[in-house]
Amino acid sequence: MSEREWRFYLDDMIGFAEKVLIYTEGLDQAAFVASGLNYDATVRNLELIGEAATHIPVEIQKTFGAVPWRQVIATRNRLIHGYLGIDNDTLWSIIKDDVPALIMQLRLIGNSLK
């Protein structure tokens, strides 16, 4: 994998994470869960964040260990394979707490590579 390829996935992760925040902006947890389209789009983008993370080389993941790479990928797996058992409290916590922090960490990585 070339540097350009994994950097592309890093940019994708940022874009997907930003969509998560856009799709949930102005909603509380109850409104989000009841929203249908916003809920589905948000879950899909969380899956895509994890999928893109699988394309970041292990050596890069080790270099930037502040990003919880394994958790990001595990969340993707749980969402895709456990879709009937999604815990909305956990999902909301990921959206409100983890995604903004992830965006900041990924941007720091991107900026350090320029």
- Catalytic site residues? 76, 81
Encode 48-67: b = buried (16+ Cβ within 10 Å), e = exposed: bbbbbbeebeeebbeebeeb
| Number of residues written out for the chain | 114
CA–CA separation, 69 and 37 (whole Å)? 27
- DSSP per-residue string spanning 24-53: HTT--HHHHHH-SHHHHHHHHHHHHHHHHH
